[in-house]
Amino acid sequence: MLEPTQRTARPPKWAGWGDPEKRMALPTAALEMLRSELGQTEPMRSVELDEVGLPAPRPLPGAIVDAVNQASVLLAHEQRVRRSAGRSYPDLVRLRGGRLAAAPDAVVMPGNPAQLADVLEICAREGIAVVPFGGGTSVVGGVDAVAGPHERLISLDLRRIRRVEIDRVSLVATLGPGLRGPEAEDAVRAHGLTIGHFPQSFEYATVGGFAATRSAGQASSGYGRFDELVTALAMVTPAGELRTLATPHTAAGPSLRELVLGSEGVLGAITEVTVRVRPAPEARRYEGWMASDFASGCDAVRSLAQGEALPDVVRLSDETETRVSFGLSGTSGLRRLLLGTYLGVRRRRRGCLVICGWEGGRESVERRRALSARLLRRGGAAALGEAPGRAWERGRFDGPYLRDTLMDLGYMAETLETAHSWSRLDDLYRAVRAALGSALAAQGTPGIVMCHLSHAYRDGASLYFTFIARSRPGAEIEQWHALKTAACEAIVAAGGTITHHHAVGLDHAPYMPAEVGQTGLEALRALKERLDPAGIMNPGKLLP
């Protein structure tokens, strides 16, 4: 058994994203662009952490302290605030405004699965709601302090369960749920291996959270989504431990592993995850390409997916996202002129940026890159070289820091995602764009709606929308709610999934009947009733 690298990331900003030492300034040209397109704004301020009002904590049974130990039950105001919300735009608005209607009565941090089982037994007996908490990066209300029918609620923080065991022969790693992305990756890198799971929330999200939400990383086209990497899991439920066999495959009935993946803490707490790992890449090559428009870019990515030529990272921005990302990155003056001239020579004045990345052995990277390049060219895309690819790679985790800057300035910036088959993708794209555009206009805050395609498959792909608008001071949550509802209704009407990788949480739960049907919902509810008869696990999430 090995100890993972103890990387001590600073505690994240309490009302923003990520490392408190890291801030992103907007280049002047970008600020001018936003002001001219979206209008003047009022800066959004934040209260201080100690000004956030919380309901008074209700006392918990002493048996919980006995099950873990005094130091592992946190009651301080800061700890309760930090476990009250995830990191969606409305979460951050509520935190900045110091407006929290609910908070956990305590944060409980078991040190191992046996302690965790004791805590769940006490909570089930006493009727105390339990919200499993990994990195708290949910953007769908997954960690909100909802007690359901119960009066008391604890946040069950899994950070102390951090086992690492590596089977070098089978190329699998068994990991504790509390390891953050960089800690898990460092632990396998020490053996020359990689997990290859790099969501944008990588810095703070955890292994348990990745499994509980079916997370997809930026390189999912090559390495696979997190759920595709998982070979086995253990979960402690109020009714006992559920453990699946760590074999490469089994034909023994429906997959229990699949029931645990994506269960979002409503059945129990995941205490162990075994994932496939592979040799750390020897070579990496990232490039930019330019498609003439979004439709032809989609066709080119489909040809890659169906021609066994998908890069490990592939990401196609629509026209608006291409324009805005060049604008926000401050690509102005000489750089923009050079890019414009370069594209002009290739008869591309406008277009859609495609980022492609290949990783692995040197020979494999070269061979796969040549194959992808051939298909991209055949699809009409023009090569931009490595500079845009490297720039994307350098800034791949920066987007959420920029959101904080935009919020400071008084802009709303939010994202949502979906997926569909190739034949229905364009209808879905148009429907969601139109719904967001109309809802923004109806709010009196016309905005920028942009999209990229990522996570490509042989049969379809996911679409990731970002919308930026002037926020309505004092009515930010209502404004967000109107936009989110419009987009979700458009997704459901177009037959897309309500979430490709952000999960369901509270925000998407009302759309679960459309996703799985009434019988499907009843099957999930029956499973919950069997594993969590007292209904203490993460009430209100996943199941409407």
Ligand X SMILES: Cc1cc2nc3c(=O)[nH]c(=O)nc-3n(C[C@H](O)[C@H](O)[C@H](O)COP(=O)(O)OP(=O)(O)OC[C@H]3O[C@@H](n4cnc5c(N)ncnc54)[C@H](O)[C@@H]3O)c2cc1C
Chain centroid offset of residue 38 CA: 27
- Cα separation, 91 vs 153, whole angstroms: 19
Taking the least distance from each CB to ligand X, the nearer of 96 and 541 is: 541
- Cα separation, 433 vs 438, whole angstroms: 9
Are 153 and 102 within 8 A, CB to CB? yes
Of the residues 4, 12, 15, 17, which one makes contact with ligand X according to CB under 6 A: 17
Q: How far is the CB of 350 from ligand X (least distance, A)?
A: 27
Other C-beta atoms closer than 10 Å to the C-beta of 377 total 13
The sheet carrying 106-108 orders its strands as 73-74, 106-108, 152-157, 128-133
Stretch near ligand X under the rule CB under 6 A, chosen from 50-58, 135-143, 242-250, 308-316: 135-143
Residue 281 touches ligand X, criterion: CB under 6 A: no
Of the residues 503, 524, 534, 536, which one makes contact with ligand X according to CB under 6 A: 503
Q: How far is the CB of 501 from ligand X (least distance, A)?
A: 4
| H/E segment holding residue 543 | none
Stretch near ligand X under the rule CB under 6 A, chosen from 202-210, 313-321, 354-362, 365-373: 202-210
Taking the least distance from each CB to ligand X, the nearer of 216 and 494 is: 216
Residue 12 touches ligand X, criterion: CB under 6 A: no
Residue 132 touches ligand X, criterion: CB under 6 A: yes
Taking the least distance from each CB to ligand X, the nearer of 264 and 312 is: 264
Residue 139 touches ligand X, criterion: CB under 6 A: yes
Binding to ligand X, residues 52-91 (CB under 6 A): 86-87
Q: How far is the CB of 117 from ligand X (least distance, A)?
A: 13
Looking only at the bridges linking them, the beta strands covering 411-421 and 230-237 are unpaired
80 to each of 28, 59, 410, how far by Cα in Å? 38, 14, 27
The residue at minimum Cβ distance from ligand X is 209
Taking the least distance from each CB to ligand X, the nearer of 446 and 535 is: 535
Of the residues 420, 452, 484, 502, which one makes contact with ligand X according to CB under 6 A: 502
- Cα separation, 89 vs 91, whole angstroms: 5
Residue 206 touches ligand X, criterion: CB under 6 A: yes
Binding to ligand X, residues 241-270 (CB under 6 A): 264-265, 269-270
Taking the least distance from each CB to ligand X, the nearer of 87 and 348 is: 87
Q: How far is the CB of 114 from ligand X (least distance, A)?
A: 15
Q: How far is the CB of 300 from ligand X (least distance, A)?
A: 23
Are 136 and 143 within 8 A, CB to CB? yes
CA-wise closest residue to 106 among 178, 155, 50, 54: 155
Angle at 519 between CA 514 and CA 524, to 5 degrees: 90
Are 195 and 333 within 8 A, CB to CB? no
Of the residues 13, 323, 455, 541, which one makes contact with ligand X according to CB under 6 A: 541
Residue 174 touches ligand X, criterion: CB under 6 A: no
Are 443 and 483 within 8 A, CB to CB? yes
Of the residues 4, 12, 110, 209, which one makes contact with ligand X according to CB under 6 A: 209
Alpha-helical regions (H) of 261-417: 294-306, 319-328, 333-345, 362-378, 386-394, 399-409
Residue ranges in contact with ligand X by CB under 6 A? 17, 86-87, 131-139, 142-143, 158, 177, 199-201, 205-206, 208-210, 212-213, 215-216, 264-265, 269-270, 400, 501-503, 505, 538, 541
